[in-house]
Structure 1
Amino acid sequence: MQRKKLVNQLTELLKPFQINDFCPNGLQVEGKDNIKKVITGVTASQALIDVAVEKNADALLVHHGYFWKGEEQSITGMKKRRIQSLLTHDINLLAYHLPLDVHPELGNNAQLGKLLDLEIERPLEPWNKNSVAVKGKLKNPMTVAEFAKLIEDKLDRKPLVNQAGDHLIKTIAWCTGGGQSFIDLAASQGIDAYLTGEASEQTIHSSNEQGIHFFAAGHHATERYGVKALGEYLADKYDLDVEFVDINNPV
């Protein structure tokens, strides 16, 4: 598949032009024109690049790429080594951040909800069509302990849990990755529990004082599923050789 066609198809699917993001979405590092083998993963770390090189990949497709707003612009040190590896082996780097979080079918929130059997009802910010947090419900109400066990079983990761009362979880809001700041908005809407990837010091106070259960299951662990689903979609639709590689990250 020609690189230009792949980029165009991903643009049409994920619509990055509709979202104000913290990084460029799409082709970040240009490699060879013809793409057959694609490695997908959460972050374009050196370890993931090394796997792409070992497997003779033509493209690396990730959720977390490079060139974030506010970062050092000089291409030195770690950034230089990563980009040099890609250029030396003529590997394309494609990255989709918020567009992959919010996609209604392939996105991180949608895929995490599917994995945990959660029903999405609406965006947590109904006034924002690109809200990166969603509101939904459990198909069957659970205790905090039961839901924590479900997360551990499905994500193979023991979550950080803060129980704020004795109420069952019927309604839930969630945002994969570093979405802990949305807990206050979830609490203001009377939602029973909030799930995300990370926690901050103030998050536990918000949970306790507003009576909303809180779960943090890992930034990496909650964001494995969008890029994996996107790769499977590409493999099925365009007959590409796509392989998801999970570089373990406990955070």
Structure 2
Amino acid sequence: MSTTRQDLLQAFDTLLQPVHFKDYGPNGLQVEGRATVEKIVSGVTASLALIEAAVAAQADAIFVHHGLFWRGQDGRVTGWMKQRLARLLAHDINLYAYHLPLDAHPALGNNAQLGLQLGLAATGRFGEQDLGFIGGRAGGELFADAAALAAHVEKVLNRPVTQVGSAQKAIKNIAWCTGGAQGYFEAAIAAGADAFITGEISEPQAHYAREMGVAFIACGHHASERYGAPAVAAHVAAQLGLVHQFIDIDNPA
């Protein structure tokens, strides 16, 4: 089966509601390709490697979390931007990108899907635009301490994590927000978190963790955001009768 480029955009917009978010770049169709879509490739970032993989997979559209265009960019089409755009345009591939709306979706978004992977159940939201999730283990059990939680995250995501703040106590309330959400740490503390999980850590958060007794776990920007894009793309593809393929381009960051 197939759909139109515009109907696919409408399906993504209806699901993710980008009009409700103040974001860092345009959400939706970022690069226009062919009018008819039969196959979607999803990925985390619209890198050249993902675009090349989508070309090889004969995709009509790419769906990502990190698109090509961001507020404050230079605006000139040179270097890496020229290379990526050239490949998309040469192969007439549509590029759809959703940033904060993809983080926030209550069931299919990055935060919801990371929670699902980690066995966490959200009971509330916190932070700017309510992007952060807070809750605990889905079965109600507690982690013995921050080290046990960090070890669990490492095992599930299959990569080392950075843990700061010992939090030598049972971990009940866990807050999380994927990607570069280290700025949400203070809001997570205010929301009553015993531990906070995100993708990255910056210098101030190490001090906050030690001084406030709340553990900070950085598990990798890419690693924390591998799950939302394929969940949303698979959902919409099934809805419209399209073929979907997730392609994970490894990124150590």
Residue of structure 2 in register with 1:134 after alignment: 133
Residue of structure 2 in register with 1:155 after alignment: 157
1:102 corresponds to 2:104:
yes
CA–CA distance in 2 between the matches of 1:183 and 1:99?
20
CA–CA distance in 1 between the matches of 2:80 and 2:237?
31
Amino acid at match of 1:133: G
CA–CA distance in 2 between the matches of 1:157 and 1:187?
25
Query: Is there any run of 5+ residues in structure 1 with no aligned partner, and where?
Result: none
CA–CA distance in 2 between the matches of 1:249 and 1:150?
21
CA–CA distance in 1 between the matches of 2:58 and 2:21?
33
CA–CA distance in 1 between the matches of 2:234 and 2:152?
24
2:217 to 215, 218, 233: 215
1:35 corresponds to 2:34:
no
CA–CA distance in 1 between the matches of 2:115 and 2:31?
32
Residue by residue over 1:101-147, the C-alpha shift from the partner in whole angstroms, topping out at 9 and shown as x without a partner, is 0001111011111111111111113xx6x311121122311022221
- Does the 8 Å contact 1:106/1:230 carry over to 2? yes
Query: Is there any run of 5+ residues in structure 2 with no aligned partner, and where?
Result: none
- Does the 8 Å contact 1:187/1:211 carry over to 2? no
CA–CA distance in 1 between the matches of 2:17 and 2:191?
29
Give the Å deviation of 1:75. 0.9
CA–CA distance in 2 between the matches of 1:132 and 1:189?
13
Alignment of 1:25-174 (within 5 A): 25-125=27-127, 130-138=129-137, 139-142=140-143, 143-174=145-176
CA–CA distance in 2 between the matches of 1:2 and 1:187?
45
CA–CA distance in 2 between the matches of 1:151 and 1:100?
21
Give the Å deviation of 1:206. 0.7
Residue of structure 2 in register with 1:197 after alignment: 199
- Does the 8 Å contact 2:146/2:167 carry over to 1? no
Residue of structure 2 in register with 1:249 after alignment: 251
Residue of structure 2 in register with 1:238 after alignment: 240
Runs of 4+ displaced beyond 6 Å: none
Amino acid at match of 1:208: R
CA–CA distance in 2 between the matches of 1:119 and 1:51?
34
Give the Å deviation of 1:5. 0.5
TM-score by length of 1: 0.96
Amino acid at match of 1:195: I
- Does the 8 Å contact 2:12/2:236 carry over to 1? no
- After TM superposition, the structure 1 stretch with the greater mean CA deviation from structure 2, 182-191 or 68-77, is 182-191
Count of residues in Structure 1 that have an aligned counterpart in Structure 2: 248
Give the Å deviation of 1:234. 2.0
CA–CA distance in 1 between the matches of 2:133 and 2:37?
34
CA–CA distance in 2 between the matches of 1:28 and 1:190?
38
Give the Å deviation of 1:24. 0.3
Percent identical across equivalent pairs? Answer: 45
- After TM superposition, the structure 1 stretch with the greater mean CA deviation from structure 2, 184-193 or 205-214, is 184-193
TM-score by length of 2: 0.95
Give the Å deviation of 1:56. 1.2
Give the Å deviation of 1:163. 3.1
SS at match of 2:175: strand
CA–CA distance in 2 between the matches of 1:118 and 1:99?
20
Amino acid at match of 1:249: N
Amino acid at match of 2:136: K
Give the RMSD, CA atoms, in angstroms: 1.1
CA–CA distance in 2 between the matches of 1:169 and 1:25?
36
